[in-house]
Amino acid sequence: MEIPLIDLGIQHRRLEPEITAALQRVLASRRFILGPEGRALEAGIARLCGVAHAVGVASGSAGLLLALQAAGVQRGDRVVTTPFTFLATVGAIRLLGAEPRFVDIGRNDFQIDGAAAHEAAARWGAAAVVPVHLFGGCAGAACEDFGAAVVIEDAAQALGAHFPGNAERRAGSAGLCGVFSFFPTKNLGAVGDGGIVVTNDAALAERLRRLRNHGRSETPPQAGEVGFNHRLDELQAAVLNVKLPHLPAWIEARRRNARAYEAAFREAGLDETLLLPPIPPGHSVHHYVIRTPRRDALQRHLRAAGIETGIYYDPPLHLHPAMRDLGYRRGDFPEAERAAREVLALPVYPELPRAHLLRVVETIASFFRPPGRRTVAHTEGDSV
């Protein structure tokens, strides 16, 4: 594709000397598992999120599983979450033998409906609520106090985001714990899999450290409970330590791109044809997702023009064959189902050239409008 959804090569080429040096440092140390790179990353992420503890894990999915387990969620417990998210959110709940109870998303912001989540948690006597900070925004109302149910934030897509109206309240810090993913395409991406769990609860952090390492404590060196291997390795942590200081600038560049899209769509007269995403303060713009009922045809039109886009998520979770036994049917979550039909993620990575962004908008304009009408003004240079 001429314009890819994300180009990781640019970032890696710019940081290549530092990344190579970091990898060589780890190779020379011969310390590949649970070492100083992992500890440095944990300290850096805890600082970024304004929390006391961070525990590196093998992936965001592993982090969700461990967080639920460490929080005491057990077989048969009910866990309230959204059907409009990645499979990992519900996979972790189900692998523990707990039962997901879905709640629909709000009308236009993709996030779980906070009031409905509270109502469902009370109705089902939920043990936990897992709000998902989708696309880099914060699922605000679903992180408030749920009484008996603990809140585990699936913040996989929202590292560095903060809640609107409170820059001190970081994604991942509002509930009992928050889980992040370092999947390569995330705002802070590893060169493989990785994840981290953040919390202010010292006992929970200790339990997470044991559970990620077969349930073993160091003194005495034995397993008090059954765990598994969910460790983050040193090579991934070393790369992430190089990238972490750049994250705020990368998020700012993503926000700049989001603002540029909005301005260009308005300029092209498309802001009513398309539903543009709300980008409140603190949004980390992991994905920039527009909506149109003509999504599939628009995606084909963009692909034919060499522009890659993404669909997150279709179908919604309750309509996957693997979830059939939960008893949900089409029509149960109309907002999630409508979003699933309409969403289209556009390239928004930090180094996206401004000319590419404007070409995306022009190509979308040419889909909705006969050729030869208004075009998008090329007024600005390349971004970052």
Ligand X SMILES: Cc1ncc(COP(=O)(O)O)c(C=O)c1O
Stretch that binds ligand X, among 32-40, 55-63, 248-256, 328-336 (CB under 6 A): 55-63
Closest CA to 344 of 302, 281, 282: 302
Q: Cα(294)–Cα(316) distance, rounded to whole angstroms?
A: 18
Residues 338-367 that bind ligand X (CB under 6 A): none
Closest approach, Cβ 185 to ligand X, in A, equals: 8
DSSP-derived 3-state class of residue 277: coil
For 195, the token pair is 């994840």
Nearer to ligand X, 25 or 320 (CB): 320
Between strands 150-154 and 128-130, the pairing is parallel
Binder of ligand X out of 37, 77, 154, 233 (CB under 6 A): 154
If binding is defined by CB under 6 A, does position 59 make contact with ligand X? Answer: yes
| Sole residue written with tokens 């070492």 | 35
Contact pick of 56, 172, 175, 195 for ligand X (by CB under 6 A): 195
Query: Which CB sits closer to ligand X, 171 or 276?
Result: 171
CA 253 – CA 123 distance, rounded (Å): 42
Rounded least distance, CB 312 to ligand X, Å: 8
**What is the smallest separation between the CB atom of 244 and ligand X, expressed in angstroms?**
16
Confirm or reject binding of residue 85 to ligand X (CB under 6 A): yes
Identified binder of ligand X from the candidate list 111, 157, 173, 284, rule CB under 6 A: 157
Least separation in angstroms between residue 153's CB and ligand X is 10
Degrees to nearest 5, angle at CA 145 with 88 and 326: 35
Report, in Å, the least distance between residue 62 CB and ligand X: 7
Note the residue count of the chain.
384
> Which one, 85 or 292, has the nearer CB to ligand X?
85
CA quadruple 142, 144, 149, 152: dihedral positive or negative?
positive
Site for ligand X in 27-46 (CB under 6 A): none
181 touching ligand X, by CB under 6 A: yes
Contact string 119-148 vs ligand X (x = CB under 6 A): -------------x----------------
Two structure tokens written together for 369: 């409008």
| CB proximity list for 237: less than 8 A, separation 6 or greater | 37, 38, 40, 41, 56, 194
Stretch that binds ligand X, among 14-22, 56-64, 275-283, 348-356 (CB under 6 A): 56-64
* Cα–Cα distance, 261 to 288 (Å, whole number): 9
Angle (nearest 5°) at CA 51 between 33 and 37: 20
Tokens of 152: 């585990």
Q: Quote the tokens at residue 224.
A: 């008090």
Q: Which is nearer to ligand X, 181 or 284 (CB)?
A: 181
Pick the closer one to ligand X by CB: 136 or 282.
136
89 binds ligand X (CB under 6 A): yes
Name residue 345's beta-bridge partners: 289, 310
State the minimum distance, in angstroms, from the CB of residue 338 to ligand X: 19
- Residues near ligand X (CB under 6 A): 59-61, 85-86, 88-89, 132, 154, 156-157, 181, 183, 193, 195
